[in-house]
Amino acid sequence: MKSWPLFVVCTVLCWGAYVPMIHHGQLAFGTKNSALRAFLFIGAAYFLIAGITLGYLLISKAEPLQLTRLGVGLSTLAGVLGALGALGIVFAIKSGGAPIAVAPLVFAGAPVVNTIVAMLWDKPAEPPRVMFFVGIVLACAGAAIVLRFKPV
């Protein structure tokens, strides 16, 4: 059995709980303006996980520590995009967005943007079929339906 689907399930579970966890983390500080404190600890957690992972890779020699300028640059930019996305969620919640509304918009919109960016970066051999565009419309419609009929 291939292991990549297990990592996908792990990510879906973690990111599915991400927005509500950020919301409750902000609330747990007990004051109205606690978004940046929550973001501080989100960043600390990223740093901690990165450090533990790097330590494991160095000790186990599971992956060589060979760096290239392009790899460092693109990976750092990916980290910046991830951090800015997390900051966007933090401020969306801080400014009144409920997790039940923020998450469907983020997690329906992000795959569409991901697909477009991936197709621009790595040009597909064939142009997208009509069903691809139907899928984009359905993703948007799905988010709209979730938002329209969310429990109150």
Q: What is the DSSP letter of 106?
A: H
Single-letter residue type at 52: I
Whether pLDDT at 41 is above 90 = yes
pLDDT of residue 58: 87
Q: Which residue did the predictor score with more confidence, 33 or 30?
A: 30
Contact 103, 19 (CB under 8 A): yes
How far apart CA 30 and CA 130 sit, in angstroms, is 50
pLDDT of residue 150: 85
Place 31 in a pLDDT band, splitting at 50, 70 and 90: confident
Give mean pLDDT, residues 11-32. 90
- What is the model's pTM? 0.82
pLDDT of residue 123: 92
Give mean pLDDT, residues 28-54. 90
Q: How would DSSP label each residue in 50-85?
A: HHHHHHHHHHHTSS-----HHHHHHHHHHHHHHHHH
Whether pLDDT at 91 is above 80 = yes
pLDDT of residue 33: 75
The total number of residues written for the chain in this structure: 152
The burial class, CB within 10 Å (0-12 / 13-18 / 19+), for 107 is middle
Whether pLDDT at 51 is above 80 = yes
SS3 call for 129: coil
